[in-house]
Chain A
């Protein structure tokens, strides 16, 4: 009798614990779950062909991931969402203009851009870091305003000085008056697809351009191997449940891609920009390993508590400046990757929304002001762009007006940032007051 009672009690306790766990999971991932549902609903309402969606999402995720990943390190250092990546984007864009002017094309041109933009963005990052150190606690608004300020300086250089004070003679790039870069810069027959499609100028269009099913099956096999290795490795980092779930998901991907290959469907027409994916994967590994280094650990401690870190002998201001410099370099590379895929850009506008959309994507992936991971960044890019793809057609289906959908997705970007920031600030305030009471 007693034993039976005990089991009942422990069962109900177990039930409560599971319930609590589920509730915790739901509240912690509320934003992500909401956008998952929103994206799915939008997809169903829009009535898009899965093939077109897949094609679009592969392109968008490949071109945008690097930029969003560039936000992670400042979050680690406790500096919040780095809205100043717009400056890095401007630097990248400036180099694209110059390299186009010099006439260097394809992959070498892109590599040259990336090499030359690095010192420039380190310099910009240094200045930004200095500024942020003077406005501690207000880094985000300072970054936002700094981006507006830099827009003015950028326009001064490229609209008023180039061609006049700074000599540059190029009929294609410079306006007919001889002063100022034209409002759009066309990269086709130049740097367009320099990284995505390196064989284009060599007459080998399929070089490093495998089809999507091949890449997915590679991921399926390699991922399963990795999971099994992790499970049997001595550190026991993986629970059995996660192993089974992971293998099931990968198996589904594998079955899907092999099926597509056998059927010979349209999906085989989608080609993956492999070099870009390798660069993104490289950045992911870099961020992961960097966070294990001494400097990475210092950044974490600074992010946890500046004062404790300072007492422990960490040079807080220096660490913060380094975090911004790294983010700035990554952002400039990310924007180069973004624009070489777009193939043309608006000289005075294409960088303006970079901060907004990258931050929104990161937050949609479940990141907060104080915590952001690689997985959240990638998931966020996927969900955010899903919403971007489906909302105009969903708007047309629901209201007979694509404009509604377009306005809606812009609202979502602003709204998700506003809500996340407000929730974070509120939580911080509650913690502070409960600490006072104790």
Chain B
């Protein structure tokens, strides 16, 4: 029995024990300090749903062997382009027909798909040429793309009034989705109350659907081959699996999920965030799946769900708890996020072992 406990303890990892302990501590404090629990739960549910797909995007990347996708900002950028194009289209044809918010959301996904597929394939091709350094290169490819897109946002010909500045060049830093009724279309779909807690049903249905499709895919022929290729590339190569192709598929799915994920995120948040917006998002998603129990080589859908719930839960609860202690600690929520997020990534890197 004792061995079982120590074993499960060590496989769970010290970093995760600390984080779980911190979360429990925060929840206890929230109760002790008589914070509005139902409000906290409501916003936790929303945060979990809006980040879910982005965290799920890490899964195919890890499974296929490229490690956590630090360059998921490529997919995010594709999603943003899709979103902007959909809004622009709605504006240009608004005298002919009006789209409902829900339809516009799916149009945005459809438009972003070809971009994400193309980007994903070429990005996978690149990552196949830099085996062993994927994480670092993915990070800098992501940074480069986000910073070159900053220039692109200044020049792309979007003219819709909610996007373009009234004077000057380029699109706005944040683009509101309220005018076209896209804000919270998923969240509000079939949403219901339990007491004071609002359940964003549509958001969870969408996330669950993505998880289900991923689950089915990972059990398909291609998915199983991908698992093998990520787990032991040399053996799989000998067994006749095309490892490079598997890695490209994994990267592409990850990129596509990144594009869809940012649109889910944006409809819940109410804005599309451009320029610096996508820069540091990958790190949140990477940290979330690692907190859920994944390593840089192994991950499952359970890790995605647990990690998202735990990490985003901490973010929601930490700020009001810190503020309830003293008003001087207004930055404590953000600081604890930085320490936890990067601490857990560092921990995972040290566990991965050398080359």
> In whole angstroms, what is the CA distance A71 to B143 when docked?
21
Contact of B140 among A418, A426, A428 (CB under 8 A): A418
**Chain A residues numbered 141-178 whose CB sits less than 8 Å from any CB in chain B:** 141-142, 144-146, 148-149, 151-153, 155-156, 159-160, 164, 177-178
Question: How near does chain A come to B220, taking the closest CB pair, in angstroms?
Answer: 29
**Chain B residues numbered 308-355 whose CB sits less than 8 Å from any CB in chain A:** 328-329, 331-332, 334-339, 341-343, 345-346, 349-350, 352, 354-355
Question: How near does chain A come to B245, taking the closest CB pair, in angstroms?
Answer: 17
Q: Which residues of A contact B24 (CB under 8 A)?
A: none
A138-B342 in contact given A155-B331, A155-B335, A407-B151 (Cβ < 8 Å): no
B219 beta carbon closer than 8 Å to chain A: no
B139 beta carbon closer than 8 Å to chain A: yes
Closest A residue by C-beta to B350? A134
Contact of A179 among B139, B150, B328 (CB under 8 A): B328
Question: How near does chain B come to A150, taking the closest CB pair, in angstroms?
Answer: 8
Point out which of B148, B154, B331, B342 has the most chain A C-beta atoms below 10 A from its C-beta.
B342
> In whole angstroms, what is the CA distance A414 to B136 when docked?
12
B129 beta carbon closer than 8 Å to chain A: yes
Closest A residue by C-beta to B131? A429
Question: How near does chain B come to A421, taking the closest CB pair, in angstroms?
Answer: 5
Q: Which residues of B contact A422 (CB under 8 A)?
A: 126, 129-130, 137, 141
Closest A residue by C-beta to B280? A148
Closest A residue by C-beta to B296? A138
**A138, B130: Cβ atoms under 8 Å?**
no
B283 beta carbon closer than 8 Å to chain A: yes
> In whole angstroms, what is the CA distance A177 to B331 when docked?
14
**A160, B147: Cβ atoms under 8 Å?**
no
Contact of A135 among B148, B335, B342, B349 (CB under 8 A): B349
Closest B residue by C-beta to A151? B338
Question: How near does chain B come to A360, taking the closest CB pair, in angstroms?
Answer: 10
Closest A residue by C-beta to B71? A418
Q: Which residues of A contact B133 (CB under 8 A)?
A: 140, 421, 424-425, 428
Q: Which residues of A contact B339 (CB under 8 A)?
A: 149, 152-153, 156
**B335, A156: Cβ atoms under 8 Å?**
yes
A404 beta carbon closer than 8 Å to chain B: yes
Question: How near does chain A come to B17, taking the closest CB pair, in angstroms?
Answer: 18
Point out which of A136, A164, A403, A407 has the most chain B C-beta atoms below 10 A from its C-beta.
A407
Q: Which residues of B contact A401 (CB under 8 A)?
A: 154, 169
A137-B132 in contact given A142-B349, A144-B139, A422-B137 (Cβ < 8 Å): yes
Q: Which residues of A contact B346 (CB under 8 A)?
A: 131, 142, 145-146, 149
B144 beta carbon closer than 8 Å to chain A: yes
Contact of B354 among A137, A145, A403, A429 (CB under 8 A): A137
Q: Which residues of B contact A410 (CB under 8 A)?
A: 147, 150
**B136, A407: Cβ atoms under 8 Å?**
no
B135 beta carbon closer than 8 Å to chain A: yes
Closest A residue by C-beta to B331? A159
A415-B148 in contact given A403-B154, A429-B129 (Cβ < 8 Å): yes
A135-B130 in contact given A145-B345, A418-B144, A421-B136 (Cβ < 8 Å): no
**Chain A residues numbered 176-221 whose CB sits less than 8 Å from any CB in chain B:** 177-180
**B154, A425: Cβ atoms under 8 Å?**
no
How many B residues face the partner with a CB closer than 8 A? 43
Closest B residue by C-beta to A408? B151
Q: Which residues of B contact A164 (CB under 8 A)?
A: 328
Q: Which residues of B contact A131 (CB under 8 A)?
A: 346, 350
**A426, B135: Cβ atoms under 8 Å?**
no
**B342, A152: Cβ atoms under 8 Å?**
yes
A53 beta carbon closer than 8 Å to chain B: no
**B352, A160: Cβ atoms under 8 Å?**
no
Question: How near does chain A come to B213, taking the closest CB pair, in angstroms?
Answer: 30
**A404, B151: Cβ atoms under 8 Å?**
yes
Question: How near does chain A come to B237, taking the closest CB pair, in angstroms?
Answer: 12
Q: Which residues of A contact B144 (CB under 8 A)?
A: 411, 414-415, 418
**A138, B349: Cβ atoms under 8 Å?**
yes
Number of A-B contacts (CB under 8 A): 131
Closest B residue by C-beta to A410? B147
Q: Which residues of B contact A144 (CB under 8 A)?
A: 136, 139
A414-B140 in contact given A149-B343, A404-B154 (Cβ < 8 Å): yes
**A160, B328: Cβ atoms under 8 Å?**
yes
Interface string of A113-152 (1 = CB under 8 A from B): 0000000000000000001001111101110111011011
A429-B151 in contact given A148-B283, A414-B144 (Cβ < 8 Å): no
**A160, B349: Cβ atoms under 8 Å?**
no
A425-B130 in contact given A134-B350, A151-B338 (Cβ < 8 Å): yes
A414-B143 in contact given A141-B136, A149-B339 (Cβ < 8 Å): yes
> In whole angstroms, what is the CA distance A144 to B136 when docked?
9
Question: How near does chain A come to B333, taking the closest CB pair, in angstroms?
Answer: 11
> In whole angstroms, what is the CA distance A148 to B335 when docked?
11
> In whole angstroms, what is the CA distance A272 to B299 when docked?
57
A417 beta carbon closer than 8 Å to chain B: yes
**B136, A135: Cβ atoms under 8 Å?**
no
Q: Which residues of B contact A411 (CB under 8 A)?
A: 144, 147-148, 150-151
**A417, B352: Cβ atoms under 8 Å?**
no
Closest A residue by C-beta to B70? A141
**A141, B328: Cβ atoms under 8 Å?**
no
Q: Which residues of A contact B131 (CB under 8 A)?
A: 425, 429
Interface string of B114-152 (1 = CB under 8 A from A): 000000000000100111110111011101100110110
> In whole angstroms, what is the CA distance A179 to B330 when docked?
11
Question: How near does chain A come to B335, taking the closest CB pair, in angstroms?
Answer: 5
**Chain A residues numbered 376-414 whose CB sits less than 8 Å from any CB in chain B:** 399-401, 403-404, 407-408, 410-411, 414
Q: Which residues of B contact A141 (CB under 8 A)?
A: 70, 135-136, 139, 349
Contact of A421 among B137, B148, B169, B283 (CB under 8 A): B137
A138-B151 in contact given A149-B346, A429-B130 (Cβ < 8 Å): no
Q: Which residues of B contact A135 (CB under 8 A)?
A: 349-350, 352, 354
Contact of B338 among A149, A177, A178 (CB under 8 A): A149
Question: How near does chain B come to A276, taking the closest CB pair, in angstroms?
Answer: 31
> In whole angstroms, what is the CA distance A140 to B70 when docked?
13
Q: Which residues of A contact B132 (CB under 8 A)?
A: 137, 425, 428-429
Closest B residue by C-beta to A405? B151
Q: Which residues of A contact B329 (CB under 8 A)?
A: 160
Q: Which residues of A contact B332 (CB under 8 A)?
A: 160
Q: Which residues of B contact A407 (CB under 8 A)?
A: 147, 150-151, 154
Closest A residue by C-beta to B354? A136
Point out which of B143, B170, B336 has the most chain A C-beta atoms below 10 A from its C-beta.
B143
Q: Which residues of A contact B140 (CB under 8 A)?
A: 414, 417-418, 421
> In whole angstroms, what is the CA distance A390 to B329 when docked?
42
- Give 25 pairs: A residue, B residue, CB < 8 Å, sorted on A: A131-B346, A134-B350, A137-B132, A138-B135, A138-B355, A140-B136, A142-B346, A145-B346, A149-B343, A149-B346, A152-B336, A159-B331, A399-B169, A401-B169, A407-B151, A407-B154, A408-B151, A411-B144, A418-B140, A421-B140, A425-B137, A426-B129, A428-B132, A428-B133, A429-B132
Considering the complex of A and B, which 8 residue pairs feature the smallest CB-CB distances, nearest first? A152-B338, A136-B354, A137-B355, A425-B130, A418-B140, A149-B342, A152-B339, A134-B350
